[in-house]
């Protein structure tokens, strides 16, 4: 059994930095890097926990991170209709048609403003709703003086005896190696291995779709648990681990019983985090976005098909190439529905506002169109909902 001094020595001498691309960097190569051994007889101290929090990052999966305002603005600006109107405004500016440029830029600003404000409000409402949900867990750590004060004689005695304390902390502050206490109704805060358990049943419906709770219990281990190497385990889903009786996973919940477990993986390195990362890499294009893209391309094809003949006819017949260029620009502007982007944004924003009165948060305005196109909704309650009524109003 590894002693507490050995554990502290390993944690102090070894620093593993996990970069944004989930690769490890350090003074040792990947093959020479020793694993961090977890002591299932001695919890972490506050100092080691803070050090591992800096090393492994917060216990947050990619799908739970809030979308920043500049990301929303970026996706709002880069819209096919905005590109179309922007191209025409540049062409109009080249022909010194200032009034047309002002009208087109005003339409772009109004469309971007309406879409950005509505989507930003939806994101803010969703984040405020998440804050109302209790996201704490009970951890066991070695005793340390509270409030970061200097230890007195009594504190030193408790620290020498290796006394432990239970505390409730935010899920994002849990690190690999933490001991967690779980009971009925709790969410599993990470991928954990059981140290002790009593009549523990866990619902794994979010991972397997099976609504029947699974019994979990401790298994005699031949060796101490270790923190898995992120460089070799990232983006790999071992489905056989779900059947292990001594492992519980983030995203699952305790139905009944109690247990004490040691955290092996947190955040994006968990089974649930890898699934969320793969699902959130890129959203599939819906029918509305495909239609917007096609109609934008159609307008561009019509414009570029008509402008050259108009310019050539005006130039060869009347020998006025400058007036022919202005006339061709006027034809292009006349063929383009300048109000269409603003009308689309205003109507989708109106639909989002109507849904907000029904206590529904719309984070993406395009989803309003997708919801309106639903004829049949198929769903599975997976043991979480007792009674649900779905109504689709025309």
**Among 325, 254, 250, 297, CA closest to 95:** 325
Q: Which residues contact 343 (CB under 8 A, 6 or more apart)?
A: none
Six token digits for residue 251: 């995203």
Q: Which of 238, 366, 380, 386 is catalytic?
A: 380
Active site residue 191: no
Q: How far apart are CA 79 and CA 45, in angstroms?
A: 51
Q: Which residues contact 34 (CB under 8 A, 6 or more apart)?
A: 10, 14, 28
Return the axis-axis angle of helices 98-131 and 69-77, rounded to nearest 10°. 140
Place of tokens 């691309």: 21
Number of other CB atoms surrounding residue 342 within 10 Å: 21
Q: Which residues contact 324 (CB under 8 A, 6 or more apart)?
A: 310, 311, 312, 313, 314, 315, 318
Q: Which residues does the annotation mark as catalytic?
A: 380
């Amino acid at each position: 059994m590894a002693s507490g001094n050995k554990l502290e020595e390993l944690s102090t001498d070894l620093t593993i930095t996990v970069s944004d691309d989930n690769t490890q960097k350090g003074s040792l190569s990947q093959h020479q890097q020793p694993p961090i051994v977890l002591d299932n007889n001695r919890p972490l101290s506050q100092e080691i926990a803070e050090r591992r929090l800096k090393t492994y990052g917060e216990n947050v999966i990619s799908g739970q991170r809030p979308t920043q305002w500049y990301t929303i603005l970026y996706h709002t600006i880069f819209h096919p209709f905005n590109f179309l109107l922007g191209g025409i405004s540049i062409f109009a500016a080249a022909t010194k048609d200032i009034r047309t440029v002002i009208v087109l830029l005003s339409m772009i600003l109004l469309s971007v403003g309406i879409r950005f404000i509505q989507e930003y409000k939806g994101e803010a409402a969703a984040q405020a709703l998440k804050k109302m949900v209790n996201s704490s867990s009970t951890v066991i750590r070695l005793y340390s003086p509270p409030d970061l004060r200097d230890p007195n004689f009594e504190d030193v005695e408790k620290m020498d005896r290796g006394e432990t304390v239970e505390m409730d902390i935010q899920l994002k502050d849990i690190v690999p190696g933490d001991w967690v206490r779980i009971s009925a109704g709790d969410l599993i805060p990470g991928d954990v291995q059981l140290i002790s358990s009593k009549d523990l049943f866990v619902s794994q419906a979010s991972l397997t779709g099976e609504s029947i709770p699974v019994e979990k219990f401790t298994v005699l281990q031949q060796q101490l648990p270790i923190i898995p190497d992120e460089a070799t385990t990232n983006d790999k889903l071992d489905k056989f681990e779900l059947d292990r009786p001594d492992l519980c996973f983030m995203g699952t919940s305790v139905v009944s019983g109690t247990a004490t477990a040691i955290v092996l993986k947190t955040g994006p390195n968990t089974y649930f985090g890898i699934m969320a990362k793969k699902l959130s890499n890129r959203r599939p294009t819906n029918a509305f976005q495909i239609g917007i893209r096609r109609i934008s391309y159609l307008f561009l094809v019509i414009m570029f098909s008509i402008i050259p003949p108009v310019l050539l006819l005006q130039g060869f017949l009347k020998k006025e190439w400058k007036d022919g260029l202005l006339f061709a620009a006027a034809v292009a502007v006349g063929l383009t529905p300048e109000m269409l982007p603003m009308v689309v944004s205003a109507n989708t924003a109106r639909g989002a506002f109507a849904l907000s009165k029904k206590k529904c948060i719309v984070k993406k305005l395009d989803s309003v169109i997708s919801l309106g196109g639903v004829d049949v909704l198929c769903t599975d309650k997976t043991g979480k909902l007792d009674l649900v009524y779905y109504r689709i109003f025309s």
